[in-house]
Amino acid sequence: MSILVVGSVAFDTIHNHLGTHPKVLGGSATYASLAAAPYAPTQLVGVVGRDFPEDAIELMRRKRIGLDGLEVADGKTFHWEGRYTDDLTSRVSISTELNVFADFEPKVPKEARSVPYVLLGNIHPTLQMQVLDQLDSPKLVIADTMNFWIEGTPNELAEMLKRIDVLVINEDEARQLSGLYNIVKAAEKLRAAGPSTVIIKRGEYGALLFRASELFHAPALPLREVQDPTGAGDTFAGAFLGFVASRDATDEETLRQAVVHGSAVASYCVEGMSVSGLVDIKKQDIETRVDLFRRLIHIPTNPVH
């Protein structure tokens, strides 16, 4: 079953322990759709400027991402510049040039309105809702958000939460949005605000999946080398939804596997700069890494004495 991804398509200029990487491909919709595409037909809704390079378009086409919803507007593409600390645990924004993204009004192509699986990337909650207004009745809507919207547009965010099925959110932002430090209580409060499922991302510590009666702890793979954590969360969400769409199921067992797939693809993402870790992975690579996750957490059962 097919997927619609809405979010930013951007250039990122990244300063990290490896140097400066000017104007590499980035954006929440870019990462999420590259992660979802190996699983299911994926369409992207977003906007770029006239400066957006043909080879980036070509890359997305090669990954069979539907680009009918990618608007090319007069002006320049969204450009974010940031610097990571050497241990990659935090980053500061140096500049955010919204450019054509400032006037973005997502338009869902007519033939995509009946899409069953929807990912609302981390953009203004009003834009996220505008997308939902254009859709028939999706089976599952997953959304991301961040501190910027929690602080700046709390009312719109509250409205958006009522209309989604799955919220994917960082641990710190879950605490900020709920006002509760205890992560079990925070997730409970977020679920009461709308989404029946809440996924708390904990970076190198993995992720927690909260549902009505079930709690699932997914590990992250301890990696010897991390190049670039940019887009890891979007990648997680994209592969998560990709797996769900490939199974066309939203039961507990499917969602648990989907979280592990999200984590597995995100682990490839952070091993390369920009989207390079996602470009060449095949379904078999993902399965191999999912098996690594299974081995990583395997608890033997008691031998019979």
> Where does residue 220 rank: exposed (0-12), middle (13-18), buried (19+ CB within 10 A)?
buried
Q: Smallest gap, in angstroms, from Cβ of residue 257 to a second copy?
A: 6
Identified binder of a second copy from the candidate list 95, 155, 284, 302, rule CB under 8 A = 302
Tell me the DSSP string of 176-233: HHHT-SSHHHHHHHHHHTS-SEEEEE-GGG-EEEE-SS-EEEEPPPP-S-----TTHH
Specify the stretch interacting with a second copy by CB under 8 A; choose among 46-54, 56-64, 233-241, 288-296: 288-296
Residue type, 3: I
Q: Smallest gap, in angstroms, from Cβ of residue 214 to a second copy?
A: 8
Q: Smallest gap, in angstroms, from Cβ of residue 253 to a second copy?
A: 4
Token readout for 97 is 């040039």
| Binding of a second copy by 83 (CB under 8 A) | no
Q: How many residues does the chain have?
A: 305
Token readout for 157 is 């965010």
| Binding of a second copy by 298 (CB under 8 A) | yes
Give 76 or 247: the residue with its C-beta nearer to a second copy.
247
Contacts (CB under 8 A) with a second copy, residues 180-199: 181-185
| Binding of a second copy by 219 (CB under 8 A) | yes
Whether 223 and 271 have beta carbons less than 8 Å apart is answered as yes
CB count within 10 Å of CB 46 equals 27
Give 129 or 216: the residue with its C-beta nearer to a second copy.
216
| Binding of a second copy by 271 (CB under 8 A) | no
The 10 Å CB-count burial string (b at 16+, else e) for 5-40 is bbbbbbbbbbbbeeeebebbbbbbbbbbbbbbbbbb
Whether 208 and 229 have beta carbons less than 8 Å apart is answered as no
Give 110 or 224: the residue with its C-beta nearer to a second copy.
224
> Where does residue 41 rank: exposed (0-12), middle (13-18), buried (19+ CB within 10 A)?
middle
| Binding of a second copy by 215 (CB under 8 A) | yes
The closest of 303, 262, 110 to 270, measured between CA atoms, is 262
CB count within 10 Å of CB 119 equals 32
| Binding of a second copy by 257 (CB under 8 A) | yes
Specify the stretch interacting with a second copy by CB under 8 A; choose among 56-64, 139-147, 152-160, 256-264: 256-264
| Binding of a second copy by 208 (CB under 8 A) | yes
Give 110 or 298: the residue with its C-beta nearer to a second copy.
298
What counts of helices (H) and strands (E) characterise the chain? 11, 13
| Binding of a second copy by 256 (CB under 8 A) | yes
Q: Smallest gap, in angstroms, from Cβ of residue 197 to a second copy?
A: 15
| Dihedrals phi, psi of 225, to nearest 5 degrees | -135, 125
| Binding of a second copy by 91 (CB under 8 A) | no
Identified binder of a second copy from the candidate list 204, 250, 272, 279, rule CB under 8 A = 204
Q: Smallest gap, in angstroms, from Cβ of residue 209 to a second copy?
A: 10
Q: Smallest gap, in angstroms, from Cβ of residue 206 to a second copy?
A: 8
Binding residues for a second copy, rule: CB under 8 A, are 86-87, 181-185, 202, 204-206, 208, 215-219, 222-226, 253-254, 256-257, 260, 293-294, 296-300, 302
